[in-house]
């Protein structure tokens, strides 16, 4: 940890409530420069401190360090060729749950895939394939739409959705998509206004799937009717697969909206920063 002894680290932390603001700022900068290796030390100091001012400073420092790590991971994800969806969802998840391990999400998703795979037959036609996935996800595993707490930040956290089996259109589509991809099916995300859906799109057939409504199958004409009801001009983008980057941006915008409704201004600003980072 930047060659500082435990005694020197203790001395640094004890200055976090110094009456001189310049000293406090210098101490904060010094601690932040050490990086994430110092987090366990800071958490231990928080637990053993009886000074609420120092505890508050430590909480802010730990959050700043974790947020910096999230930004670094998100930048790496943005700059990779494949932009793996599960990795992206894990990075978003660490905003609320910074200690969450990727391996935990990966194992849970693999278990869901295994449940679907064991019930899946390759000789089914595309419609039957989708109904087979629907049966496992919605009937056996009991995934469903979270209509009661639609705007909760938890709806954008894959770990929370896997625990509660309740999600918003985007997280439910993400789970569906990750399973379908492992099965080798040509299923992709589609960015509709006010609703995220999926498309089964091969050389022979194209249809759409509403993961928020138990995997309901619908057609291009249904999308046109939906857009007309909303009085939105029909654009070809509303029928075509979207990239994982677009899914991530939409997930962050959902989170921004959730925090706005909760009046959590600091979090709104941080999410805006992450959206800008992905867009740069």
Residue 22 confidence class, pLDDT cut points 50, 70, 90: confident
Q: Are 199 and 190 in contact (CB under 8 A)?
A: yes
DSSP state of 188: E
Q: Considering the domain boundaries, does residue 272 fall inside one?
A: yes
Q: Considering the domain boundaries, does residue 1 fall inside one?
A: no
Q: Are residues 30 and 107 in the same domain?
A: no
Q: Are residues 226 and 128 in the same domain?
A: yes
Alpha carbons 105 and 84: distance in angstroms, whole number = 13
Note the pLDDT of residue 247.
97
- Residue 4, SS3? coil
Q: What is the CATH number of the domain that holds 70?
A: 1.25.10
Q: Which long-range contacts (CB under 8 A, 24 or more apart) does 148-155 make?
A: 151/257, 151/258, 151/261, 152/258, 153/96, 153/255, 153/258, 153/259, 153/262, 154/96, 155/254, 155/258
Counting the structural domains of the chain, the total is 2
Spatial CA neighbour of 179 closest among 116, 87, 108: 116
- Residue 183, SS3? coil
Note the pLDDT of residue 50.
82
pLDDT digits (tens, 9 = 90+) for 4-17: 777 888 888 777 77
Q: Considering the domain boundaries, does residue 264 fall inside one?
A: yes
Domain extent, residue 177, equals 85-279
Judged on CB neighbours under 10 Å (0-12, 13-18, 19+), 161 is buried
Residue 280 confidence class, pLDDT cut points 50, 70, 90: confident
Q: Are residues 59 and 92 in the same domain?
A: no
pLDDT (mean) for 206-231: 96
Residue 210 β-bridge partners:
216
Note the pLDDT of residue 177.
98
Alpha carbons 248 and 147: distance in angstroms, whole number = 21
Q: Considering the domain boundaries, does residue 236 fall inside one?
A: yes
Spatial CA neighbour of 248 closest among 83, 96, 95, 98: 83
Q: Are residues 73 and 90 in the same domain?
A: no
Note the pLDDT of residue 2.
55
CB environment 80-92: b (16+ within 10 A), e (fewer): eeeeebbbbbbbb
pLDDT (mean) for 167-176: 97
Q: Are 102 and 87 in contact (CB under 8 A)?
A: yes
Q: What is the 3-state secondary structure (H, E, C) of 30-87?
A: HHHHHCHHHHHHHHHHHHHCCCHHHHHHHHHHHHHHHHHHHHHHHHHHHCCCCCCHHH
Note the pLDDT of residue 16.
78
pLDDT (mean) for 24-45: 84
Q: Are residues 186 and 109 in the same domain?
A: yes
Of 55-59, 130-134, 195-199, the poorest mean pLDDT is in 55-59
Q: Are residues 231 and 181 in the same domain?
A: yes
Q: Considering the domain boundaries, does residue 180 fall inside one?
A: yes
Q: Are residues 68 and 96 in the same domain?
A: no
Task: Quote the pTM value.
Answer: 0.89
Q: Are residues 162 and 249 in the same domain?
A: yes
Alpha carbons 124 and 120: distance in angstroms, whole number = 8
Spatial CA neighbour of 118 closest among 182, 172, 211: 182
């Amino acid at each position: 940890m930047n060659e500082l002894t435990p005694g020197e680290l203790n001395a640094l932390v004890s200055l976090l409530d110094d009456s001189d603001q310049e000293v406090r700022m210098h101490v904060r900068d010094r601690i932040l420069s050490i990086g994430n290796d110092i987090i366990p030390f800071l958490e231990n100091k928080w637990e053993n401190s009886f000074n609420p001012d120092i505890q508050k400073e430590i909480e802010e420092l730990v959050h700043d360090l974790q947020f910096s790590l999230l930004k670094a991971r998100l930048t790496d994800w943005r700059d990779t060729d494949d932009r793996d969806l599960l990795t992206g969802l894990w990075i978003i998840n660490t905003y609320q749950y910074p200690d969450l391990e990727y391996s935990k999400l990966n194992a849970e998703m693999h278990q869901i895939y295994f449940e679907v795979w064991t019930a899946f037959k390759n000789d089914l036609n595309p419609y039957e394939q989708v109904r087979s996935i629907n049966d496992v996800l919605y009937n056996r595993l009991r995934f469903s739409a979270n209509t009661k707490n639609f705007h909760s930040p938890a709806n954008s956290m894959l770990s929370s959705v896997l625990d509660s089996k309740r999600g918003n259109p985007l997280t439910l589509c993400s789970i569906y998509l990750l399973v379908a991809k492992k099965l080798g099916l040509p299923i992709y995300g589609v960015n509709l206004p006010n609703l995220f859906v999926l498309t089964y799109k091969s050389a022979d057939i194209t249809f759409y799937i509403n993961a928020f409504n138990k995997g309901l199958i619908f057609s291009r004409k249904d999308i046109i009717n939906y857009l007309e009801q909303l009085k939105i001009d029909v654009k070809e983008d509303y029928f075509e697969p979207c990239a994982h980057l677009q899914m991530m941006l939409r997930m962050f915008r959902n989170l921004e909206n959730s925090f706005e409704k909760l009046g959590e201004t600091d979090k709104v600003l941080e999410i805006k920063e992450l959206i800008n980072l992905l867009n740069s």
